Chain A
Amino acid sequence: MKQMKMSNLDLDLFYEKLDNGLEVYIIPKKNCNNTYVTYSTKYGSRDYEFVPLGNKKMKKVPLGVAHFLEHKMFEQEDGTDPFAFFSERGADANANTNYTKTTYLFSGTQFLEENLRYLLEYVEAPFFTDENVEKEKGIIEQEIMMYEDNPYNKAYEGLLYNIFIEDAIKYPIIGTVESVRSITKQDLYECYHTFYHPSNMFVVITGKVEPYEAIKVIKEVEGKRTLVEAKPVEKKKIKEPTEVEKGYEKKKMAVTIPKLSIGYKIPLASFKNVSRRKILHYLMMLFDIKLGPVSLFQEQLKKEGLMSTDFAFDYIDTEDYFVIMLIAETEEPEKVIDLINQELSNLELSETDLNRKRKTVISSFLFMSDNIYSLNEKAMSNVIKYGKVNCDDYEEIKELNISEYQKLIPNINLNNHSTYIIMPKKGK
């Protein structure tokens, strides 16, 4: 196992790649009672067109299969219920699916070895029947309804749908009522065998853990498996255009105050000689400083009564784009859009502002490192985006400076954006 210092965080990272391709990342934390273990496949809702294991031709599966599969992994052939297994050992278990990965997890303060072994075993033992697949549809439909009623979720998904053209990130993770109804047992098995191969999966453990003992357990479980060889999964190549699919949409929902959301689709290809991580930091700083609570701009909007709560920011990045979304509650969405775009016509930042932001980024890494859940999330997100857990964030952040930022300004392209407005159904 390799051991690396995580800079400025008082933590060490242990890493090993097993013979079958499974990657294991362990970050022990001293003075901690709890352990958080995640087992993920690099497979999310976005991967719906690919060459299935053992086939040669590209295939499209219904939207929402990754998430459906996640629900169905809790079905075991011998009838045991993974939730019950963990609960009997005082652990909390769960799973989640996003655009780029699916994660099975538990956290607990006791029985680490037993729980870890079981986590691997149950995720490695799919059991789908026509009957249990049908049964799940009612539950997922209710889950869809829950999201449908949430205006923030609606705005988020609406924006992504309008911003992206080719990339399946435009579709909701959960799929649609129709696509979910069309999912079959065969779809699940095909996706399972293609994407749940150890060479496409990784384990992250944070908290109270002895790395050498944990890796021993993992090797023991993995050593018993017989698997077919697998090459890296061939997914459909996405050529995502710079433009947005649709620049403007208005929808009515049962809300009281209109909700304005704007998303900027910023191409990353034009930035040269600066690392991707740094560019993302600079772009986030730009929006935080220009429009966040430290800005004169936001203060002015509040004084004029145009909005009374802060903008909510959300970021998502794909290989080629950085998308930043902001949501505001305002009675005058059109006016606020104009003001935002006007404000963003000048991208200069002051050195004081940038240096202060840099300090907060360093601090936020320290806060993050105190929480085994955030730490695990960071590690997972790094593995998905960078193929490894970054240990040198501090060095990268420390180097952020105004002159480097200024050189980037000509390449920051904010021309491609989309607006999604949710208006109240009833007049007041």
Chain B
Amino acid sequence: MEYHKYENVAYHLHTIKTDKFKTVTVKVNFKRKLEKKDITYRNLLADVLLESSSKYPSRREIEIKTEDLYNLFVKSNTYLSGNYMIMSFDCIFLNEAYTEAGMLKESLDFLMEFLFHPNVVQKRFEKSNFKIAKKALEEQLNSLEDNYGRYSMYRLLEEMDKSAPFSFRSIGYLEDLKEINETNLYAYYESVLSSDLVDIFVIGNIDPEKVQQLFLDHFPINTLKKPSMSHYLQPVKPRRIIKTTKEKKEINQSHLLIGCKIDLLSEFEKKYVMQVYNFILGGGTDSKLFHNVRELNSLCYSIHSTYQPTSNLLIIKAGIDASSYKKAVSLVKKELTNMEKGNFEETDIEKAKITYLSAFDELEDSPSSIISTYISHEYLGYDMLEERKKKIHEVTKDMIVSVAKKIHADTVYLLEGGEPDEANEDE
């Protein structure tokens, strides 16, 4: 693999040349400081841009073109990363060695078409396509509660601290959506082009210089950007007494979430010690939580923990029966305490390290995962792969116990299922 970073005036182009894949993957990231009211704009903007363009005035025509380009795949993703919000466009297509000469340029042109030639009439997004995209987002926001996993996660974070940026809903808000029209969204689009920080990642068996030239010729963003601030949020003080919130819902399975706040960690703790800690606690099917809550007590089917470095949070999630709620919470707390007391073995640490290393080897088989490691390097200051493989060995038991003491259970949220519903009216 051969990495090259082109620091063009208005954006950075990262190329990764490798002959491992039959595909070329391109990712264009737009990012700016997180503002709650902007989140909905960005979600809708990404959808509107992929709904139609000046050359392809409907989704249907776009789909036909993607098929013509040998099943090219394009999608967008809007997400939050600590102090920032990111709007990301991914485009994946076959290397022209497997299709026909000229397809690299044609595929990149197609992606640029969405970003720079939207379907616009006099500084307004074209009405009917705008309407379709807006309605789809409206339905998605309306039916958020149908997605119990996502909904309960948002609710937990809001209960932890409603004003903290980590609790903002990454899919946006219905009340903000109502305010958005063809004109103000277009104005927002123009501001994205002129003031967002832009990073482009291209991976595949490509000629980096040729790709750089294609972007110089066709990527018409040229405003100089200010240097960026850190992605990491400041840690928030944990509660002295754990807060508990329950919400009822007519579902069979209850969703239990426990949110923990983490004190300020060192760089090494964030990037290495926490990885090992989380793996041991709830990383997979061989974790403390999986063994003691699922296997020994048959309380749940799924249970795991995730670490969110930019928000300084650790979240534990389990699907349980409402009647087991108290027992499950106390078992989880017990496991957290066990970690603090160092009640785990050196072999647990070794397993975590081996898994960590193996995950890195595996990650090199996937273009999007490789891009992700460059993104965490660029945005979050993570070390590059080879460095990470070395440093993980430095993690010791004492270090894990020391981070465990900085993790504080703060909020318990239960989306509580009802009795098996007899009011289930079938027709």
Q: Decide: A308 near B365, CB < 8 A? Known: A146-B301, A363-B71.
A: no
Q: Decide: A257 near B354, CB < 8 A? Known: A138-B298, A360-B70, A363-B71.
A: no
Count A-B pairs with CB separation below 8 Å: 169
Interface contact B358-A364, CB-CB below 8 Å: no
Interface contact A107-B128, CB-CB below 8 Å: no
8 Å CB interface, B285-302 against A: 285-286, 290, 294, 298-302
Chain B residues with CB under 8 Å of A146's CB are 253, 301-302, 319
Question: Is B213's beta carbon under 8 Å from chain A?
Answer: no
Residue among B60, B67, B362 with max Cβ neighbours from chain A (10 Å) = B362
Interface contact B64-A142, CB-CB below 8 Å: no
Question: Is A251's beta carbon under 8 Å from chain B?
Answer: yes
* Distance in Å: Cβ of A418 to nearest Cβ of chain B: 15
Chain A residues with CB under 8 Å of B63's CB are 292-294
Chain B residues with CB under 8 Å of A108's CB are 358, 362
CA separation between A107 and B355, bound complex, in Å? 11
Chain A residues with CB under 8 Å of B94's CB are 363, 366-367
Question: Is B23's beta carbon under 8 Å from chain A?
Answer: yes
* Distance in Å: Cβ of A355 to nearest Cβ of chain B: 10
Q: How would residues 85 to 114 of chain A score, 1 for a CB under 8 Å from any chain B CB and 0 otherwise? A: 011111111100000000000011110000
Question: Is B79's beta carbon under 8 Å from chain A?
Answer: no
Question: Is A17's beta carbon under 8 Å from chain B?
Answer: no
Interface contact B252-A256, CB-CB below 8 Å: no
A423 and chain B: residue at smallest CB distance: B427
* Distance in Å: Cβ of B66 to nearest Cβ of chain A: 9
Question: Is A316's beta carbon under 8 Å from chain B?
Answer: no
Interface contact A302-B132, CB-CB below 8 Å: yes
Chain A residues with CB under 8 Å of B417's CB are 145, 149
Interface contact B285-A303, CB-CB below 8 Å: no
8 Å CB interface, A248-268 against B: 249-252, 254-257
B92 and chain A: residue at smallest CB distance: A367
Question: Is A227's beta carbon under 8 Å from chain B?
Answer: no
Interface contact A107-B362, CB-CB below 8 Å: yes
Interface contact B284-A139, CB-CB below 8 Å: no
Q: Decide: A33 near B361, CB < 8 A? Known: A139-B298, A148-B252, A363-B94.
A: yes
CA separation between A372 and B290, bound complex, in Å? 28
Question: Is A309's beta carbon under 8 Å from chain B?
Answer: yes
Interface contact B362-A366, CB-CB below 8 Å: no
Question: Is A369's beta carbon under 8 Å from chain B?
Answer: yes
Question: Is A396's beta carbon under 8 Å from chain B?
Answer: no
Interface contact B23-A367, CB-CB below 8 Å: yes
Interface contact A149-B60, CB-CB below 8 Å: no
- Find B59's partner among A86, A141, A299 (CB 8 Å cutoff): A299
The 5 closest A-B pairs by CB, nearest first: A90-B358, A138-B298, A109-B361, A256-B143, A145-B253
